[in-house]
Amino acid sequence: MKGNIVLALLVFYPFLGGILSWAAGRRKERGDDCRDYLADGIVISEFILMGILFFLFGKTAGAGPVMECSLPGICGLGLSFTMDGFRLIYGTVACFMWMMTTILSRQYFQHHENRNRFYLFLLLTLGATMGVFLSGDLYTTFIFFEIMSFTSYVWVAQEETEEALRAAGTYLAVAVIGGLVMLMGLFTLYHELGTLRMDELLSAAQAYLTAGGADSGHRQGILYAAGVCLLVGFGAKAGAFPLHIWLPKAHPVAPAPASALLSGILTKTGIFGILVTTSTIFLHETSWGILVLTIGVITMVGGALLAVFSVDLKRTLACSSMSQIGFILVGAGMQCLLGAENALAVHGTLLHMVNHSLIKLVLFMAAGVIFMNTHVLNLNEIRGYGRKKPLLKAIFLTGALAIAGIPGFGGYVSKTLLHESILEYSGGFLIRLVEWLFLISGGLTVAYMTKLYVAIFVEKNDSAEVQRKFDRQKDYMNRESAFALTGSALVLFIWGLIPGLTMDKAAGLGQGLMGLTEFGEPVSYFSLKNLSGAVISLVIGAAVYLLVIRGLLMEKQRKGAPVYVNSWPAWMDLENLIYRPLLLKILPGIAGVFSRILDSFADLAVVVLRKTLYRDSPLPHERMEGNWFTETAGRVMNFIQAVGNRTWNRRHPGNRDYVHILAVRNEELRENNTIIGRSLSFGLLLFCIGMCLTLIYIIVL
C-alpha cells in the first residue's frame, strides 16, 4: 500500500463491518440488538472519521488533492484513491445519509424478515459507494461501481414480492448492461490514451488529439465513441433518459431507507462519472455539452410529468428524482457550452447535487414513517394521515419547500444558479426553449409536491373511521427515528438558510473536480431578477395544480371527496413497450435465426455440393444403416439367438433382428451427441465472434 491508509480505511471498513454485523445477527439470543447496535456504530464512526477529515482539510482541499492512496496489483491495474474538495463533500454527505437511514432502519424493519441480509448489504454498499467517490482513476471507479450495483440489487429485492423481484431484475439488467458498455469505453480510453487516472485524462486527451495532426478528426471520433459508452454506463445508474426505467419501479418496492440512499446517493455516483468525463476528456467541448444538455432536458421534463400523474407516494418521489437528475445534467451540459466562463453552471451543478441528496433523505424517510404505520402508499389511502402530526408535517414541508425552489431554502439557490447559467449563454431560440422548459419543470415540481402535501397533511380521509385512527396515532415514531428525521430536516434547513456561509463555500470547495479554479462573481440570490425565475415557476405550479391535478387528475365520486387517479397511458411504459420485447423476444429471435443458419450451414453446403458439383449417390457397398461395429455385433447376437433356439428346441417366430436394433441405438446416440456438441459449439462460436469483434474494434479504431 502506498499513501494514506485513511482512504483505504474509509472504503474497506464498512465491508468488514457488514460481515461482522451479519455474524452478530446470526446469534440466537439478542442477535438482532447486537447487530443493530454494531451497524449503528459502524456508520456513526465512519461519519465521524469523514467529519474529522472535513475539519482538517476543508480549507485546503479546494486547491487540489490533500491525500492519495494506491493499492498496486489488485485486479491487475491496482486500485487508487484520492481526497479533494468534491470528494470531501460527497464522502461526508454519503456517510451522513447512511448514518440517518441506518438509525431509522431499526424501527422500520422491526417486523420485517431478512433483516440480517439487509444490514449486510447496506454496509457493503456503503463501502462500494465510498470506493466510487474516492476513486482516483476510472478503473477503480468501475470496480466499485459494479460492486455497488450488485449489492444494492438486494435492496430492491428485499421484500421478495412479485413486484419487487421484477423491479430488481430490471434494476440489475440496466446496471449490468450499463456496466458492460462502460467497460468497452474504458478499454478504448486506455488503449488510446494510455491512462485512466482522472488527473491525467485532460492532458492525455489533449496530447492525443494534438499528435493526430490531419487525423485528429478520426481521433476525436474515437474519444466521442468512448465517451458515449461512459455516458451510457454512468447515465444508467444516474437514472437519465432513456435508461431511467428502473427508477420509478425500484423505489416503490424497496424499503424506505434503501429508497433514500438509491435516490440521494447512488444516483450521484452516476453523476460523478458523467462530471469526470465532461470535465476531463470533453472539457469545454460544445458538441458534448449539447448531447448532455439534450439528455438532461428530456430527463428533467419527463420525470416531472411522470410525477404529476403518479398517485403513489414513493413513485412520485422517484419520478421527482429523475426530474432533479435532469436539472443536474442541464448544469453539466451548460458547463461545456459556457467554456471557461462556466462558474455559475459548475456551482449550480454541485449544489443541486447536494440539495437533492439531502432533500430526498428527508422526503423518503418521511415516506418510510408513513408506510411503516399504514402499509400503503396510494394517496387515496394515506390521505389525511399527517393532519394531527405537526413534527412529521414540518419535516415533510421542509423537504417539499426545498425541492420546489422556494426562496429561503437550498433548492432555490442551486436552481437560481442553473437558471442564470442558461441565461448567460446566448444561443438563440433553442437556448430560450431550454430556459422555458427549465422553468416549466420547476413549476411541475411545485405542483406535484403541493399534491403530496395537501393529500397527506391537509385533506381528510374518505373514511371517517380511518381518519380518527390516523389522528389518534401518537407513537408513530420512536426516539431514534425522530432523531434521524428531525436531524436531517434541520441540516437541510440550515444548509439553505444562509447560503453565503454554507452553500457558496461548499461550491468553492468542490469546484476543482469540474476544472474550475476561480470562484467567479458573487451572486445576489434575492435580487428581483433572480426572484423572477422562482415566481414564474410558482405561478406555473399553481396553475398546473389547480387546473390539471385538481381539475383533470381527480375523479368525482357520488359520495365523499374526489379521488386521485393516474391517467398516464399504461402503454407508455418504455420497459414494457420497447426494452422487454426487444431484449426478450426480438433480439433472441433474430439471434436464434442467425444461429440456426450457422448451425445448418455446413450440412447445407455438403448437400448442395453433392447435388450439384459431385452429383454422387449411395454406392452398392454402403450400408443402409449402422456401421461395421453395429453390424458385426448384431450378426454375433443373431447367431447366439439362433443357436439358443436350436439348443432348447424352441420356435420364436418374432425373433429380434439385433443388426437393426443396434443400428437404431447407434443412430439415437449419434443424434444426442450431435445436439450436445452443436449446443456447445455454437455457444463457443458466438463467444468467439464477440471476442473477435471486440478485438477488431480495439485494434482498428
Cell of 318: 422517484
Which of 78-82, 101-105, 611-615 is least confident? Answer: 611-615
Q: Is the pLDDT of residue 31 over 70?
A: no
Q: Is the pLDDT of residue 439 over 80?
A: yes
**Residues 633-636: contacts with CB within 8 Å, 24+ apart?**
633/658, 633/662, 634/658, 634/659, 634/660, 634/661, 634/662, 634/663, 635/659
In which band, very low, low, confident or very high, does the pLDDT at 430 lie, cut at 50, 70 and 90?
Answer: confident
Predicted local distance difference test score (pLDDT) of residue 348? 92
**Residues 207-213: contacts with CB within 8 Å, 24+ apart?**
none
Predicted local distance difference test score (pLDDT) of residue 29? 47
Cell of 336: 461545456
Q: Is the pLDDT of residue 620 over 50?
A: no
Q: Is the pLDDT of residue 681 over 70?
A: no
Predicted local distance difference test score (pLDDT) of residue 3? 58
Give per-residue pLDDT as tens, 162-172. Answer: 888 888 888 88
More reliable by pLDDT, 29 or 31: 31
Mean pLDDT, residues 214-229 taken together? 86
Predicted local distance difference test score (pLDDT) of residue 638? 76
Which of 200-209, 327-336, 423-432 is least confident? Answer: 423-432
Report the C-alpha gap between 670 and 588 in whole angstroms.
Answer: 28
The residue behind cell 434575492 is 526
CA nearest neighbour of 81 among 175, 157, 4: 4
Predicted local distance difference test score (pLDDT) of residue 471? 86
Report the C-alpha gap between 568 and 564 in whole angstroms.
Answer: 12
Predicted local distance difference test score (pLDDT) of residue 671? 72
Phi, psi of 497 (to 5 degrees): -70, -45
Q: pTM for this one?
A: 0.82
In this structure, are residues 403 and 412 in contact, taking their beta carbons and an 8 Å threshold?
no
Q: Is the pLDDT of residue 636 over 50?
A: yes
What is the average pLDDT value for the chain, to the nearest integer? Answer: 84
Highest mean pLDDT pick, 176-180, 489-493, 508-512, 613-617? 489-493
More reliable by pLDDT, 246 or 447: 447
Predicted local distance difference test score (pLDDT) of residue 342? 86
Predicted local distance difference test score (pLDDT) of residue 512? 84
In which band, very low, low, confident or very high, does the pLDDT at 695 lie, cut at 50, 70 and 90?
Answer: low
Helix (H) or strand (E) segment spanning residue 447: helix 429-457
Neighbours of 250 (CB within 10 A): 27
Q: Is the pLDDT of residue 615 over 70?
A: no
Q: Is the pLDDT of residue 58 over 80?
A: no
DSSP designation for 388: T
CA nearest neighbour of 544 among 452, 445, 456, 454: 445
Which of 10-14, 306-310, 519-523 is least confident? Answer: 519-523
CA nearest neighbour of 259 among 402, 368, 411: 368
Predicted local distance difference test score (pLDDT) of residue 135? 92
Domain ranges of the chain: 569-617, 628-701
Q: Is the pLDDT of residue 30 over 60?
A: no
Report the C-alpha gap between 36 and 22 in whole angstroms.
Answer: 10
In this structure, are residues 259 and 251 in contact, taking their beta carbons and an 8 Å threshold?
yes
DSSP-derived secondary structure for 162-179? HHHHHHHHHHHHHHHHHH
DSSP designation for 461: P
In this structure, are residues 40 and 98 in contact, taking their beta carbons and an 8 Å threshold?
no
